[in-house]
A and B are shown apart, each in its own frame.
Chain A
């Protein structure tokens, strides 16, 4: 079924259409929420709140953008506001904890991942969101710009700055990475 038709049926109050619309989008919304939150409980809360708001405000969706963009804009707003309140993502693996991981030729990969993930956690929200959306979840800069309500150039610039910060944080891996 065409998505416009599906949305029209949701607006008309068809429960089956609501479920179909949910099923079509819930995976990406949950993935994004989980990537941002790093916590199943929070990701569930954010996903649920996203859909509750989306159904509540569906009348305001005019169809200028794709429905997924509109929905992901709600998801990022809900997730980032929720994270600001809980700050739980900050209690994930920290850089200090990562310092203790023994490095070596064979263990370089897991060590690198731990350090990288801690470094991403430590990024300012605006950079972390763009890294998660672009490098982790594969959104295009155009999609990110529409979702976050910024210019495409801003998204690109923030990703570039985020990568520069990660490179700086992970400078001691330079030798291993170059080999």
Chain B
């Protein structure tokens, strides 16, 4: 077949692909105005999922810290006494465990989506926003008892690096080289595999804390 003729016929036939009807300007404008009004009215209460998750995470950590201070033996006036006989899973450990599992699930979802997008040559801005939120949570976790876990700590440190790289991607124009470097780094450190291994099996809505860390 003549290549030029193929291209020409292809372009001709493609013009009818999903041929749009007349633009419903007024109907869409009305819908846009209504949606913006609704969102403005509920602005105080509606938060993006990543922000909601970040706040929930911070709340869980704070509760964990509070529980830990209240029930941990040997803590007086903020001074921690060494006690080798303390229970290995105190209330604060459980709280940190819940937070860690939620964090790992969210990070796994983000990195899986990011990698898929990177393969397609683009990165959604939402990934960058979510990476920023998760980066804060990573740093909180690293400062928490969960960050002292010998298995979890190296993973959290690698995740901190990956999330920081994603969060620092320019907002408008993403350089494919930067994106490739991030995915290469993820592959070299087997970040996703280690992350999935660290997430305990079971329904995401009820994360198990036993053996999570």
Q: Is the CB of B20 within 8 A of A34?
A: yes
Q: Shortest CB–CB separation between residue A42 and chain B, in angstroms?
A: 11
Q: Is the CB of B28 within 8 A of A30?
A: yes
Q: Is the CB of A43 within 8 A of B20?
A: yes
Q: Does B45 contact A (CB under 8 A)?
A: no
Please give the number of chain B residues whose Cβ is less than 8 angstroms from any Cβ of chain A in the complex.
39
Q: Is the CB of A135 within 8 A of B10?
A: yes
- Closest-by-CB residue of B relative to A132 is B17
With a CB–CB cut-off of 8 A, which chain B residues contact A97? none
With a CB–CB cut-off of 8 A, which chain A residues contact B5? 177-178
- Closest-by-CB residue of A relative to B3 is A167
Q: Is the CB of B10 within 8 A of A166?
A: yes
Stretch at the interface among B75-83, B94-102, B166-174: B166-174
Q: A179–B38 Cα gap in the complex (Å)?
A: 58
Q: A109–B14 Cα gap in the complex (Å)?
A: 12
Q: Is the CB of A44 within 8 A of B31?
A: yes
How many A residues touch the partner, as a band?
35 or more
Q: Does A151 contact B (CB under 8 A)?
A: yes
- Closest-by-CB residue of A relative to B29 is A22
A149-179 contact mask (Cβ, 8 Å, vs B): 1 or 0 = 1110010001000010011000000110110
The winner among B1, B2, B16, B39 for most chain A CB atoms within 10 A is B1
Across the interface, B122 reaches (CB within 8 A) one of A26, A136, A150, A174, namely: A150
Q: Does A81 contact B (CB under 8 A)?
A: yes
Q: Is the CB of A174 within 8 A of B32?
A: no
With a CB–CB cut-off of 8 A, which chain B residues contact A120? 14, 17
Q: Does A59 contact B (CB under 8 A)?
A: no
Across the interface, B121 reaches (CB within 8 A) one of A109, A158, A166, namely: A158
With a CB–CB cut-off of 8 A, which chain A residues contact B124? 77, 81
- Closest-by-CB residue of B relative to A155 is B121
Q: A128–B31 Cα gap in the complex (Å)?
A: 29
Q: Does A23 contact B (CB under 8 A)?
A: yes
B1-39 contact mask (Cβ, 8 Å, vs A): 1 or 0 = 110011101110111111011011101110110011001
Residues of A103-148 at the interface with B, using a CB-CB cut-off of 8 Å, are 109, 112-113, 116-117, 120, 124-126, 131-132, 135-136, 146, 148
Q: Shortest CB–CB separation between residue A15 and chain B, in angstroms?
A: 9
Q: Shortest CB–CB separation between residue A72 and chain B, in angstroms?
A: 13
Across the interface, A136 reaches (CB within 8 A) one of B2, B7, B15, B125, namely: B15
Q: Does B191 contact A (CB under 8 A)?
A: no
- Closest-by-CB residue of B relative to A174 is B1
With a CB–CB cut-off of 8 A, which chain A residues contact B7? 163
Q: Which A residues have a C-beta under 8 Å from some C-beta of B?
A: 19, 22-23, 26-27, 30-31, 34-38, 40, 43-44, 47-48, 51-52, 55, 60, 64-65, 70, 73, 77, 81, 109, 112-113, 116-117, 120, 124-126, 131-132, 135-136, 146, 148-151, 154, 158, 163, 166-167, 174-175, 177-178
Chain A to chain B contacts (Cβ below 8 Å), 5 pairs: A55-B36, A65-B172, A136-B18, A167-B10, A177-B9
Closest 3 CB pairs of A and B: A34-B20, A38-B18, A174-B1
